[in-house]
Amino acid sequence: MTTPARFTPNPKMEYRRLGRSGLKVSVLSFGSWVTFDTQMKDDTARECMQNAWDAGCNFFDNAEAYAGGESEAIMGRVIADLGWRRQDYVLSTKVFWGIDGNVPNMNNTLNRKYLHHSIEGCLDRLQVDFVDLLFCHRADPHTPLEETVWAMSDLVDRGKVLYWGTSEWTADEIRAAWEIAERHHLHKPVMEQPQYNMLERRRVEVEYKRLYEDIGLGTTIWSPLASGVLTGKYIDGVPGDSRAALPGYSWLAERLTSAATQEKVKRLIPISDRLGCTLAQMSLAWCTKNPNVSTVITGASKASQVTENFGALEVIDALTPDVMAEIKSVLKS
């Protein structure tokens, strides 16, 4: 019998509490959006996840809708192949869009029936008995919020989920869900997964500001590199091997190559050069400087990108108040 691979914390990695919960997640984590199945299969995914693990990453993010469920299946196969102990890693997924086409009750919803069925599919593909975190991938205006809160709390009671939260919900929606749970003594939403990076700051820094203190909201932020624009690779156009060049992502290319965006990127590069790091590393480190960010979800299409991304751990201390002020002046321009 093979001995399970044990996790070794990286002394350079910070492990932050997820909001007011007791769960600790690595400040840099790894997610599968866009890349799994679309840009890489099992072998490359295995290399990427092992590189993240070796760097001290203990949190791995996924979603039911990513690649129509195949992203979860790849991650499940990789974890089983690597032989990681279940207690050593934190695993998440997200539900809302569904993967069963136009079947009534199985798409674009958070009703009790959908949540009951979807979690079983997620667990089967991920090859686990439970997920640590389950996110409501979007808010559902057609299902009573009380029904969703009760159903999510039930999943926690049933041991299918340890903590539940939201993704891209408004502050009012999050607070309303929390208050329903408080009123009925249910399991409350613990975390939110919003977009956050140097170019997209309003929701995390302004809209959610009261929630951090009032309800102890944790955040697992996505797109810390603004879908790659904060690597600098879009300055001269869209590379053929980038996600913006993938079919169906033309909207992304248009946003990433705007003149105003690229001007900010050009002004940020000299700062990262002076610090002796890449723009991507500086951008990731910048996200970690926000104390209300529990973890920064990184992505990659090849193992070398994972190594580079986690090199941001070496940059965090270099972002002194003076450097942060300099970056802020660029972003405000």
Q: Say if 237 falls within a structural domain.
A: no
Pick the catalytic residue from 15, 66, 114, 212: 66
As averages over each run of 10 residues, the pLDDT of the chain (333 residues) reads 78 98 98 90 96 98 96 97 98 97 96 98 98 99 98 98 98 98 98 98 98 98 96 82 66 74 96 98 98 97 96 98 98 91
Two tokens at 178?
């929390």
Q: Give pLDDT, residue 284.
A: 98
**Total domains, the chain:** 1
Q: Say if 196 falls within a structural domain.
A: yes
- Name, in order, each residue with C-beta under 8 angstroms of 67's C-beta and a sequence gap of 6 or more: 36, 37, 38, 74
Q: Say if 232 falls within a structural domain.
A: no
| Residue-wise pLDDT tens digits, 66-75 | 999 999 999 9
- Exposed, middle or buried: residue 120 (CB in 10 Å: 0-12, 13-18, 19+)? exposed
Q: Which CATH number fits the domain that encloses residue 174?
A: 3.20.20.100
Give the domain range for residue 27. 15-226+284-316
Q: Say if 93 falls within a structural domain.
A: yes
Q: From CA 283, how far away is CA 72, in angstroms rounded?
A: 27
Q: Say if 142 falls within a structural domain.
A: yes
Q: Give pLDDT, residue 37.
A: 85
Q: Say if 46 falls within a structural domain.
A: yes
Q: Say if 190 falls within a structural domain.
A: yes
Q: Say if 246 falls within a structural domain.
A: no
Q: Which of 264, 214, 93 is nearest to 165 (CA)?
A: 93
User: In the annotation, is 66 catalytic?
Assistant: yes
Q: Give pLDDT, residue 1.
A: 44
Q: Which of 95, 74, 226, 232 is nearest to 164 (CA)?
A: 95
Q: From CA 307, how far away is CA 290, in angstroms rounded?
A: 22
Q: Give pLDDT, residue 245.
A: 67
- DSSP-assigned letters across all residues of 12-52: TS-EEESTTSS-EEESEEEE-TTTBTTTB-HHHHHHHHHHH
